[in-house]
Chains A and B, each alone.
Chain A
Amino acid sequence: MSKWNMIIDVAECTNCHLCTLATSDEYVDNQFKGYAAPMPKHGHRWIDILQKERGQGTMIDIAYVPTMCNHCDDAPCIKAASNGAITKRPDGVVIIDPVKSKGQRQIVESCPYGHVWWNEDLQIPQHWNFDAHLLDNGWKQPRGGQVCPTGAMKAVKLDDSAMAAKAKAEGLERMKEELGTKPRVWYRNLAPFKTAFIGGSVSKSVAGLVECVEGAVVVLSKDGREIARQTTDNYGDFKFDGLSENSGAYGVEIAGGKRVDAELKDGSVSLGEIRI
């Protein structure tokens, strides 16, 4: 049986917010019986784009990460709900019934991802329901996927084994995998959101002028052991990425003798210019 999965490519998200705007367009002042009650105009973020800025100076990057209800196969919200208010459909989609869920605030608390939202006016929990009413009417993509200009958000309908194989082949990850909730939302290129870098720019004085050093070998070490090495580009830049956040002290050595200490604490480190 093929089931819906959402694949997010973090490298292609520009924070344009078309997915969040389209979701507001779909649900504000609209109700879809059996699927969803109207979404409040403000305050709910059924799709929420997280962001992470890394680095300092002119060596920085930003990752934008759209998050939403994960449509977990082992969904804590289903267990928390009474009265059969939440169902798991055969196609993988989780639906919070807008009528049966009335008053069940515990459903909001049960979601480890913070993606069930309490509608104060209607006294119901709400979530991004994969735009199931549209999929059931033949739409190929939910609103966010339909409108995303870069394909950073794309729903696929695959059976679980095919999806698992795809995830493995393409290195897809899920949020808080360790909780065992089995999310159906997958991420590509999530590393910048979860890891840190150490970078810098190597320069030297040549005939009285400071020049970028291209081709310098830079060695990154931890606890005295080399863990990576790179060659600088034409701007003298190097950037060791994918390091564990808050992982402490590192050494950066430029072949030829210069050594600089770096510490990963509260984010990434741009060492700036390193004159050799």
Chain B
Amino acid sequence: MSIASGQLRVILFGLVHVLKYTARKYPEFAARIKEHDVIAQMVAKDEELGRWYQFRGGKITSGFGIHPKPDVTIAFKNAKIAASLLTPPFNWLDQINAQKDFTMTVQGDDGLLNWFAQTIMLTQSIGWDMGIPQADGSMRYCNMANGGPLFVYVKDGKIIRTTSIDFDDSDPQPWTIEAKGVKLTPPRRTTLAPHGQNSKAMVYSPDRCLYPMKRVDFDPSGERNPQNRGKSGYVRISWEEALELVSSEIKRTKRTYGPGVMAVSHGSHHTWGNIGYYLSALYRFRNAVGHTAVHHNPDSWEGWYWGAAHHWGYSLRVGQSETYGTVEDCLQNSEMIVFWSADPETTSGSYGAQEGTVRRQWLKDPKLGIKVVHIDPFYNSSAQFLPGKWMAPRPTTSPAMAMAIAYVWIKEDLYDKDYVSTHTVGFDKWKAYLLGDEDGVPKTPEWQEAETGVPAKDVRALAREWASKRTYLAPGGWGNGHGGACRNQTGIQWARVMVCLIAMQGLGKPGVNMGNLQWGCPVDLNFYFPGYAEGGMSGDIEGTSLPVELYQRMPQLPTMNTSNQKIPRIFMPEAILEGKAEGYLWNGKSIEHQFAKVNYPAAGHAPVRMLYKYGGSMIATMNNTNRHVKMYQSENLEFVVNQSIWMEGEAKFADLILPACTNFERVDISEWAALGGYGHHGQQQVNNRVVIFQAPAIKPLGESKSDYWIFTEICKKLGLANYFNEGMNEIDWVKRQFEASDLPKHISWKKFIKKGYFVVPTEKEKLRAPVSFRWFWENRAKDVPEPLPLPSDYSGEYLKGLQTQSGKLEFECNSLIRAGDPERPPIVKYEPSWEGMHSGAMFEKFPLQLVTPHSKYSFHTQGDGKDSFLLNIDDHRVKVDNWYYWIIRLNPEDAAARGIRKHDLVKVYNDRGAVLCAALPTARLARGTVHGYESCAIYAPMGEPGKSIDRGGCLNLLTPHRTQTKSTHSLAGANSLVEVEVWDGRIEHMSEAFAKDSPPATPMVHARVAEFVAAK
């Protein structure tokens, strides 16, 4: 007997005692081993050495040797390999390699094997001690919402309280910036966005999906009645029935039609946590099963990706530039910030809670001498918070205003000519266009006034002040992109001209840069913790940024989708209804990737006949979404399953609903605002980097389950469970993520899961990341810590210059010369919106421009509706006649002209649909502009879905789905033409476009889950 076989005998024998001991100590483990009667064995094949373990009626027996009839077997090539792989602490690279090299193989039922493997893993984790007991008998855990980190206080199995985190004495001190004699240090705590503080209401919402539910008139072996989706009620079914239904439909559709027959559609966000995130568990599942991906447009960055990137590169962050060091540089060196369609007090940087607000508050200190200007059709929250000059261009006309500023700079010699000559190319071409040499129209302040409504004198005054001061330009919520005007019809022009303006003033000079203090904090960015876009446990080395770093740090089985078919998301209804759709690629590798077409159907692929939907946000967040109602009711979709936490949005269009739990009911791990991948170093938004162990605060409500559990169980029916989860429980993946990060260098696992959070130590001042673009201005090699451009994307020496062909800022874009796209000329030109005051008859009929920016209180659909606390905020929804209506804001004179008073119910409509809202007259808008946030969670047609008035507040029913330009897959819907009138009480939408095929309306009010079930 070899030494190894001796070791293996001891290990296998020891396992018996571990199993028995764990069952004696933990009742839940004892209950678990009653779940199956099974004989499992582990063997070393070369010496035919093994041990079997019999579970029968909750009793464990075991014996040495090879069992004649085991149910499942884990076989190692030899005893040495077995002993090595079974000895903790596990080396994950060895484990994965053994599977790839087939030195560790399994035989038997996939589900039983998975159960056996998870049972063994559970012996390690079951006793882990999480959370801190409190004096009042409650426990304090931690969690992470999209709106920030939370302490979660739990008593008697119930969440009693969630709060932001105040740091304790052992946590590190934050950084300090000294600017103009003022010392600036953020507080030792975390902040929250409103939707983060709404978490308890989200968890305990009466709209939670608590049980698997099947549509009452859906019969998989008979009438499926797709035309009734969105109208029928549901009947509660068992998990077993639900899992059988979804797995048999996967098999049936694949066998009937071919691979890729199932489309998988998820929202742009999920509940937070790196393992449970959609880019993690869902991606592993969908790759394992095979799918047609619903390929996302670069939402919220449209103009930056399709436009700005051609001027400066930066394909990495969807067209947004580097932002390092800009908080310090702005505070120390700038004298003015121009917020242009930028409302960070509303958008919180997506995940940055109110961290940027804390820093922007410093701007109120007159000693810093930093003025602010706000340019936005809406007097937004940032304008309210940071007093300064407000200019209100008509929606979509900002590019004209920007060009007039450039015109004044040229005419009055107010730009950095040296910089333009040494650091840019193509300026003369653009200059000629601005001066009118090309088209005979000088882009004067007077010219723009006719478009924008902003007085020419104000534009001249702004242009002069801007040029006289070291100025930060802050377009979009992140200060260099994201949200705002980049999402409307002229968004590409706007983002492009923003880059041109800052190029004229010398981007990278001290105090001259892009930003609004939202990004660019001097936190330690060398500390590694993966962001969500790094893919967690996805194994997805093609669709996430996993291969860059996390794959090496956290070895795992790779996953690849075998279907090459994609549906361009904006045209998903057309893909299903008409069987055809065309879009363009979002891929951050290079500028040119965006020119690649995405065609549906892909050659030789099956048409999509099954939809695996994750949540219910599309009707609220896409554009012209009555199209989606038609899509759901099409017989081309033979089966729709929705895995959803809440009964909201389009969840009620599914044939089968799988109830998922929230991140408060499952385990996970994550860092605050850590996006990774396309949001590389998103942690620059927060004042203190905080990593959270997301302990399960409570058990999943009802029969809801974690996404991971649901996927595991479906996979068991497909023989894929061990491939999907590698025999791990969720918490084992969480620990693997912990071990893959830099956390173990600072804190033990034991302490981390007990305390629940870790604050990354502050970096020494001299080790802070350098200021963005300073290297470029100073003609040095690029020195900011980001991985792109990739080496081959430099046209000169590596690290010298930008990603553009010339390596310089390009007023005339080489990539657009090559592309030859008539709608995106090489220099940016002003082309008025195709939906606006130049729209002729449409404008006469629908004379109001509706802007639909990102919402302030909810996070898209998250937090809205669901009977949550947000309903109490009158600026979010207001209760009229026992219904919480979405708010539509309009100028008091526009309101008066229509006889509309505060909180009147009004019909907001155009030919695409009609939405019932509560009116709020406000001077925050000029005449002709109305404002309502995008992305409510409730879709509540008052009659026939798709053909009647929605009183949920889905303003995106009204917005155009046409892309900004033909050759981009870009949302343009943040501006649309509508009319608003006092509601006449009718529930049908009587627009001509709909009237002709509108059947008699059957009144249907919004019903909660319980009512749906009762309806059967």
Contact = CB atoms under 8 A, between A and B. Distances in A.
Interface stretch (A52-60, A77-85, A89-97, A162-170): A52-60
B197 A18 contact: yes
A146 B869 contact: no
B125 interface: no
Contacts of A209: 446, 456-457, 460
Nearest to A15: B875
A47 B856 CA distance: 19
Contacts of B357: 14, 16, 149-150
Interface string B436-458: 00000000001000000001111
Contacts of A109: none
Interface in B438-492: 446, 455-458, 460-462, 464-465
A146 B163 contact: yes
A161 interface: no
Nearest to A12: B361
A21 interface: yes
Interface string B415-450: 000000000000000000000000000000010000
A234 B465 contact: yes
Contact of B455 (A11, A56, A59, A273): A273
Contacts of B197: 18, 21-22, 25, 147
B507 interface: no
Main secondary structure of the interface of A (DSSP, over half): mixed
Contact of A210 (B455, B856, B875, B879): B455
Contacts of B923: 53, 55-57, 60
B164 A147 contact: yes
A234 B462 CA distance: 8
A143 to B, nearest CB: 7
Nearest to B204: A29
Nearest to A211: B457
Contact of A53 (B161, B389, B924): B924
B723 interface: no
Interface in A176-212: 203, 209-212
Nearest to A270: B923
B869 A210 contact: no
Interface in A199-233: 203, 209-212, 214
Interface residues of A, number: 46
Nearest to B453: A58
A42 B871 contact: yes
Contacts of A42: 871-872, 879
A211 B459 CA distance: 10
A150 B455 CA distance: 34
A60 B166 CA distance: 36
A146 B197 CA distance: 12
Q: Which of A12, A24, A25, A57 has the most CB of B within 10 A?
A: A25
B922 interface: yes
Contacts of B462: 235
Given A25-B869, A210-B457, A150 B198 contact: no
Contacts of B461: 211-212, 214, 234-236
A264 interface: no
Contacts of B456: 209-210
Contacts of A150: 354, 357-358, 361
Contacts of B161: 25-26, 30
A149 B191 contact: yes
B460 A211 contact: yes
Contacts of B354: 16, 18, 149-150
A14 B380 CA distance: 10
A24 B390 contact: no
Interface string A257-269: 0000000000000
Given A30-B161, A58-B392, A24 B457 contact: no
A28 interface: yes
Contact of A15 (B200, B381, B387): B381
Interface in B380-424: 381, 384-385, 387, 389-392
A48 to B, nearest CB: 10
A133 B313 CA distance: 56
A57 B856 CA distance: 23
B841 interface: no
A17 interface: yes
Nearest to B160: A30
Contacts of A18: 192, 194, 197, 354
B361 A21 contact: no
B343 to A, nearest CB: 11
A20 B160 CA distance: 16
A243 interface: no
Contacts of A143: 163
Given A146-B164, A235-B461, A24 B869 contact: yes
A17 B162 contact: no
A62 interface: yes
A61 interface: yes
A17 B392 contact: no
Contacts of B364: 11
Interface string B192-206: 111001111100100
A149 B387 CA distance: 18
B726 interface: no
Contacts of B163: 22, 25, 143, 146-147
B869 A28 contact: yes
A41 interface: yes
Q: Which of B136, B200, B364 has the most CB of A within 10 A?
A: B200
B384 A45 contact: no
B135 A137 contact: yes
Contacts of A14: 345, 357, 381, 384-385
Interface string A229-248: 00000111100000000000
Interface in B847-876: 856-857, 867, 869-873, 875
A149 B867 contact: no
B379 interface: yes
Interface string A62-104: 1010000000000000000000000000000000000000000
Given A42-B871, A149-B354, A203-B457, A28 B201 contact: yes
A60 B191 contact: no
A146 B166 contact: yes
Interface string B149-191: 0000000001011111010000000000000000000000001
B460 A62 contact: no
Contact of B194 (A17, A28, A58): A17
Interface in B186-230: 191-194, 197-201, 204
Q: Which of A20, A61, A143, A150 has the most CB of B within 10 A?
A: A150
Nearest to B863: A21
Contacts of A61: 384, 387
Given A30-B161, A149-B357, A234-B461, A60 B194 contact: no
A53 B925 CA distance: 12
B869 A41 contact: yes
Contacts of B379: 60, 62
28 contacts: A14-B381, A14-B384, A15-B381, A16-B194, A16-B345, A16-B357, A17-B873, A18-B354, A21-B869, A22-B197, A24-B201, A24-B869, A25-B162, A25-B197, A29-B158, A30-B160, A41-B201, A42-B872, A57-B926, A58-B926, A60-B923, A62-B924, A149-B353, A149-B358, A203-B455, A211-B457, A212-B461, A237-B389
The 10 A-B residue pairs whose C-beta atoms are closest, nearest first, are A149-B354, A21-B197, A24-B869, A212-B461, A149-B191, A210-B457, A212-B457, A14-B385, A62-B384, A60-B923
Interface of B: 135-136, 158, 160-164, 166, 191-194, 197-201, 204, 345, 353-354, 357-358, 361, 364, 379, 381, 384-385, 387, 389-392, 446, 455-458, 460-462, 464-465, 856-857, 867, 869-873, 875, 879, 922-924, 926
Given A41-B201, A143-B163, A149-B357, 13 more contacts: A14-B357, A14-B385, A15-B384, A20-B869, A21-B197, A29-B204, A30-B160, A42-B872, A53-B923, A58-B392, A137-B136, A234-B464, A273-B455
